[in-house]
Structure 1
């Protein structure tokens, strides 16, 4: 690989690792807020215990999220010096404010962890709400910079010089709301389904007491409800994203659907592989007129094809597979959220074992959807780092030795993933929920 490809691989692998922890760092605090609210509304101490135990898990995750985020920030500077020239002059504002959001999250997390039992109920909810607010604010601000890369605004380039800088125009670029909404709802979805996976896994154990089974059942029901709602909202945001691409990144939308000729009543093609030789998708399944409706809200809408753009500006055509994977996972998660809830409410009995086993996969599936979505978003912008302003080759470092760094950092990430899983498992095995439920003394039925 050349230097540009190595820089992309190194930064991409770092982001793929960090996104696991940053996503859960947004989604889990929101679940803790809901559990705290349910505890104070329903006076059911199980929800308070959920909030406490999820907070312990969150603390372990943040122990990896913070240093991995720092690594990403350093790599952004070292690997993409050309890009950082634009960041420093145009879009530095959200990065600066993000430090404040992180400080807010860390401060109130400390208050919640160490003083929650001594706080009145209102202040307890306020403290954890600020944790969730700081987490989502960090995500929104960082995503804002990403959306600016897709729809850059707030500056001009005259004789290779950046002029007429308007930071607010850069921050409030055309895709900011669509992109940030999609990121936040998908993070909430992932946090909920990750908790659902853990609860479902615990409920598969035949050694659970009735008390423990009821506790995990409450967590599963709550997380499936929130996860299902957020999966629907993520799909709605996905529809808005397609419309944004239609207006602002038409070649990316065309590449995602393997559309070569500008077409009215354009079909949506799922599955298959894009083949430039046949100017279409080989082995795909067409849904008539659906792409036009997705992009324009009209079946007769005209969608621009790849042939309207120079081939050197086309995105990699495998983004069609990434897009299909992301949409397929999102659809499966909507079903996994609502079908078990409907079964539980209609039949008034525990989930069948096969259904519980299927729900164990919900968390990993949602995380795979997050990873696929980010890869699609960033890869679909290629060959640009800043869309139609700066090519990736112009932004990348010229330094050598990136291959050794790639091997080293990927190895570190693998070790950290394994270590995090081992630490999490070891901690909760040494602190099972059973004794804490016994201390509570209340009884719940299945």
Structure 2
């Protein structure tokens, strides 16, 4: 493995781990706040117990996300110094604001964790809500920085110089809204289904059913609503990519020939050497319609893009297909759940529906990782689209492969520790917050 591949692999691995911690940190505080709100309105101690249980998970994942995020900030400077030298002054504002949001989140989380019976109940609840709002703000600001890499703005590039820098224009670039919307909904989908699936599993095991039913209802409803909104944000993102990054769209669809009434490809095995696709199902005109809102609109094919400027087609295409496929499965499960919620309430306690949610536990995060792969691999060979190539930004320092091995060991160890802590927390929930226990109130 050469140093360039090692540097890219290290960033991919680090981002792949961090994105999961970050998304859970964005969403779980809202679940915690919903449960806390229900407790304050009803006085039901079950929801107080649920709030405390979820807040412990939030604390664990906040600490983990802080560690992995700090490591990433160092990696940007160590692995991509040329990129940071030129890009730092341009897109540094969202990173600075993200740091502010992080500190607000940390302070609010401290208030919430240690504020039970010390603050006014509604101030205490508001502190928990601020944790969620700050977490989402952090996520949006980081995505805005990434969107700038896909849609560079806020500067003039003249003779290799970055002039007339405007950090506000850079932050609110053409891609920030579509990417932020899609990523935020993806976080709610992935985390919502994962949490709902875990509590569904506890219900199937007949462990503290009332407690886990309450948790399941909150997380499942949130996940299902987000999953049905996600295709709308996906359509917005696809149209944006079609306009600004035609090479990425062509790689996503393994679309080699520029043509009107371009077909949407389902499946297929790209053959990059011969510029064709084997197998796969083509739906005529659908790609033109999805990309441009017009079935007759032409869609640029990879044959019209120089080979040195093409993204890796196979990885981008397979990741896109995986994201779309899992997204549709989760949307279908959402329709079933919401239909049952409205018309067939006995479905909600049926074992077959709970099993479907258990099966869905990893699906959202797999789709999330696949979508991030599409975003990053589909932008190659550019680190700043159309301005700076990734190969020109990598550090000249030798021995990056050893850094890759070290960081991989750190992140794998971190994930094992976090998984153990969360597993232990889930096992403790029923013992700590059993509403049938006559000493439940005293334990609280």
The TM tier, using the shorter chain, reads over 0.9
| Alignment-derived partner of residue 322 in structure 1 | 319
| Alignment-derived partner of residue 70 in structure 1 | 70
Alpha-carbon separation, structure 2, partners of 1:170 and 1:344: 44
Q: Which runs of 5+ in 1 are unaligned?
A: none
| Alignment-derived partner of residue 370 in structure 2 | 372
Shift, 1:436, TM fit: 4.0
Alpha-carbon separation, structure 2, partners of 1:86 and 1:167: 13
Q: Is residue 2:284 matched to residue 1:288?
A: yes
| Alignment-derived partner of residue 7 in structure 1 | 7
Alpha-carbon separation, structure 2, partners of 1:102 and 1:425: 26
| Alignment-derived partner of residue 26 in structure 1 | 26
- Compared CA separation, residues 338 and 33, structure 1 to 2 (3 A): farther
Q: Which runs of 5+ in 2 are unaligned?
A: none
Q: Is residue 2:210 matched to residue 1:214?
A: yes
| Alignment-derived partner of residue 416 in structure 1 | 414
Shifted more, 222-231 versus 146-155: the winner is 222-231
TM-score, scaled to structure 2: 0.94
1:35-114 equivalent positions in 2, closer than 5 A: 35-114=35-114
| Alignment-derived partner of residue 229 in structure 2 | 233
- Compared CA separation, residues 390 and 440, structure 1 to 2 (3 A): farther
- Compared CA separation, residues 305 and 111, structure 1 to 2 (3 A): same
| Alignment-derived partner of residue 195 in structure 1 | 195
Alpha-carbon separation, structure 2, partners of 1:43 and 1:237: 38
Tell me the secondary structure at the aligned position of residue 201 of structure 1. helix
Alpha-carbon separation, structure 1, partners of 2:400 and 2:267: 35
Preserved CA contact (<8 Å) 1:182 1:238:
yes
Shifted more, 343-352 versus 418-427: the winner is 343-352
Deviations 1:405-437 (A, max 9, x none): 212221222222111111222244345356442
- Compared CA separation, residues 186 and 273, structure 1 to 2 (3 A): same
| Alignment-derived partner of residue 342 in structure 1 | 339
Preserved CA contact (<8 Å) 1:221 1:341:
no
Alpha-carbon separation, structure 2, partners of 1:308 and 1:166: 33
Shifted more, 322-331 versus 260-269: the winner is 260-269
Deviations 1:291-333 (A, max 9, x none): 1111112222221111221111011011111000001111111
Shift, 1:259, TM fit: 1.1
Preserved CA contact (<8 Å) 1:27 1:189:
no
1:296-311 equivalent positions in 2, closer than 5 A: 296-311=292-307
CA RMSD of aligned residues (A): 1.9
Preserved CA contact (<8 Å) 1:251 1:315:
yes
| Alignment-derived partner of residue 259 in structure 2 | 263
Q: How many residues align?
A: 438
Preserved CA contact (<8 Å) 1:344 1:351:
no
Alpha-carbon separation, structure 2, partners of 1:348 and 1:408: 51
Shift, 1:154, TM fit: 0.8
- Compared CA separation, residues 42 and 285, structure 1 to 2 (3 A): farther
| Alignment-derived partner of residue 356 in structure 1 | 354
Shift, 1:63, TM fit: 2.1
Shift, 1:43, TM fit: 4.4
Tell me the secondary structure at the aligned position of residue 349 of structure 2. coil
Alpha-carbon separation, structure 1, partners of 2:182 and 2:42: 31
Shift, 1:90, TM fit: 0.8
Alpha-carbon separation, structure 1, partners of 2:366 and 2:439: 39
Shifted more, 420-429 versus 291-300: the winner is 420-429
Preserved CA contact (<8 Å) 1:45 1:440:
no
Alpha-carbon separation, structure 2, partners of 1:351 and 1:338: 16
Match of 2:435 among 434, 437, 443: 437
Alpha-carbon separation, structure 1, partners of 2:181 and 2:413: 33
Tell me the secondary structure at the aligned position of residue 282 of structure 2. strand
Shift, 1:241, TM fit: 0.6
TM-score, scaled to structure 1: 0.93
